[in-house]
Structure formats: C-alpha cells, structure tokens
Amino acid sequence: MAEKSILYDASKCTACRGCQVACKSWNEREAEKTTERGTLENPPDLSPQTWLKMELREVGNNGNLRWLFTRRSCMHCKDAACVKVCPTGALYYHPLGFVSYDRGKCSGCGYCKEFCPFDVPRLDTNRGSGLGRMDKCTACTTFGLDRIDEGYSPACVKTCPTGALTYGYRETLLTTGQARVQELIVKGYKNAYLYGDKEVGGTHVLYVLDDSPSVYGIVENPKVPGAAIAWQDVIKPLGYVAVGLVGIGLLLNVMVARAKMLNGKGEK
C-alpha cells in the first residue's frame, strides 16, 4: 500500500492555530489551564492532552523582524525510534506509514520519550498508583476516532484555511514540496528547505521551510540513538530468548516433578 503523508508549508501558515484546536477537539483531548507568559503561544508545550502545538518565533536584525511558525507534533518517522524501543507493541506502523498507538498496551515505561529524536511523546503519570500512559499524535488513526480508515484527511489538515497543510501520497507531496522550495529560492529565500525527505530515513510529516531548520527551532540532522537500534537488534531478541529459556526450564521442572511422583507411586 502506498504511503501517505502530511505536508506543512510554513510559508503559507498564519498561525491561526485552527489545526491545534481541531486536533484537540477530534481526539477528545481535555482543555489545559493556560497563563499569560508574555507570548502568543499556549499551552507552553506538548502534553498528553496537546498533541499538536504551533510555535511562534520572531527573527531578524537591524529592525527587519518577521514571524516564523513551526508545527510541533509527531513526525511519524519511517524508521521510528519509538517503535524500535516499545517493549509491548503499543506503538506500531499503520498500513499507510503513520506511527499508530494502542494506549491499552502501553506500560508507561517512557522509552519512547527518551529515544525520540524530536522529543515528542509525553507521559501522563498517575501520581496515585505510579502508573502512566504515553500520548502523542496518531495522524487521526486512533481506534474509535479513526478518520483515515473512513477515507477522511486528518483533522488538522481539514481545518487549515490557508492550504498550509496538505494530505496525500508521500511521493506526490515530496514532489509538491520540492517544487515549492524552488519557488521560494527564486523569490529570494536562499535557505529554503524540504525537511523530512531524508531525515532519520524519512518522515511522514514533511515541512516546507523558507529558512534553515535551526532558524525554525527544528532539529537539524536528527539521529536515532544507537541504544534504540541496539534495543531492537540485540536486547529484544535476547529478551525473547531469556523468556523461552525460562519457559523451557519451568517445563523441565514440571516434567521432573511428575516423573518423581510417578516413580514414588510405583515403588509403593
């Protein structure tokens, strides 16, 4: 099945935050308490209740200032560190390529947050029991709230009034994004860049930027931590072997105990 993606064109975004509201509404996320912090941004960061947040930056010098808007959410990596390290299978790949999530399987270990190169997953910890669950954007593939399976676009894309967000086949959006970057370069934005094409093996959320990623506050050259690769390729398999050996050991103990019991009956 051909992979799909979301293309975010920062040069078309007005930071209306309709996407932020639509995401919270569709995914039934609770409102969070906000405070005046001297910024137009609210809430202050991603959280278990806020899966998408628009970041606003004022850049420039010598009186030449302008706003830059960054969409902060799960990048839905093609080779996702969170999927690699998830010990329960709560994180998995949707058939269209997005990183989906089964909250009921989450153990609250926090490995996904620790190893994500984009620092996206957030833990919702129950302070009473000490147990918690992770939450993040699922590209509207959450069970019971799945827009994609019904043939609709993600809620954030549907609500965008300026066309800054587009949903479609990844290969098509890569072509669209690259063409837009060339348009921006011709207009004088020499550092225009398509982010997500190659980063961490490619992502299913692509960004058209009219300046370098670092200016937008985006990680340049993100890397999947080596420990995540070791977890998938070495530690997980060893864990399965250990479980298997324990199972074999228990079976042998049962067999030995049964043999002793039968021999004891025979001696009588």
pLDDT digits (tens, 9 = 90+) for 124-159: 876 555 578 899 999 999 999 999 999 999 999 999
Indicate whether 261 pLDDT > 70. Answer: no
Q: What is the pLDDT of residues 31-41, one digit of tens each?
A: 888 888 888 88
* Same-domain pairing of 149 and 49: yes
| Cα separations in angstroms, 10 against 54, 71, 169, 259 | 11, 8, 19, 72
* Same-domain pairing of 46 and 20: yes
| Tally of domains within the chain | 2
d(CA 239, CA 233): 11
* Same-domain pairing of 108 and 128: yes
* Same-domain pairing of 185 and 229: no
* Same-domain pairing of 59 and 90: yes
Region class of 102: left (phi > 0), else alpha (psi between -120 and 50), else beta: beta
* Same-domain pairing of 136 and 236: no
Confidence of residue 229 (pLDDT cuts 50, 70, 90): low
What residues pair up with 9 in beta bridges, in sequence order?
Answer: 208
* Same-domain pairing of 169 and 248: no
| pLDDT at site 230 | 60
* Residue found under tokens 């302070």: 127
CATH code at position 26:
3.30.70.20
237 lies in which domain range? Answer: 225-268
* Same-domain pairing of 195 and 256: no
